[in-house]
Amino acid sequence: MERKTFYTDGRGFQITFDNGICLSTQFSGFHYCSNRTGLELEQKESYSSNNAEVAVLDKNGDFITKRAYKCAFGTDLYDDVDGYVHIDDWYRLLNWCKEQK
């Protein structure tokens, strides 16, 4: 299946850049964000949040979030996703994803 540039599953969205890197941004009640309820995933008409859970994937769909964080922020991440990410850090991560060759 060809990866599209923009994708949503109703709980957030993913952006895939021309270089194949995908930034996943999720903010439903099941994800690590300010409106987390820990409840099972349920479809709602819309979600909103002050922060989001993010993950970065390569063109093969493998997680590269740890590498992205090391390069973009100089910090070690201990999981394949990071939660409660505020918009300024999200923009920084977005720019890192976009600039990779």
Q: What are the residue boundaries of the structural domains of the chain, listed by start?
A: 6-99
Distance CA 53, CA 19 (A): 22
Stated pTM of the model = 0.87
Cβ–Cβ < 8 Å for 81, 55 = yes
Average pLDDT, the chain: 87
- Radius of gyration over every alpha carbon of the chain, rounded to an integer in angstroms: 13
pLDDT at 80: 96
pLDDT at 64: 98
pLDDT at 41: 58
The tokens for 4 are 């599209």
Distance CA 68, CA 95 (A): 11
Confidence check: pLDDT of 47 > 90: no
Q: What kind and span of H or E run contains 14?
A: strand 12-16
Confidence check: pLDDT of 51 > 80: yes
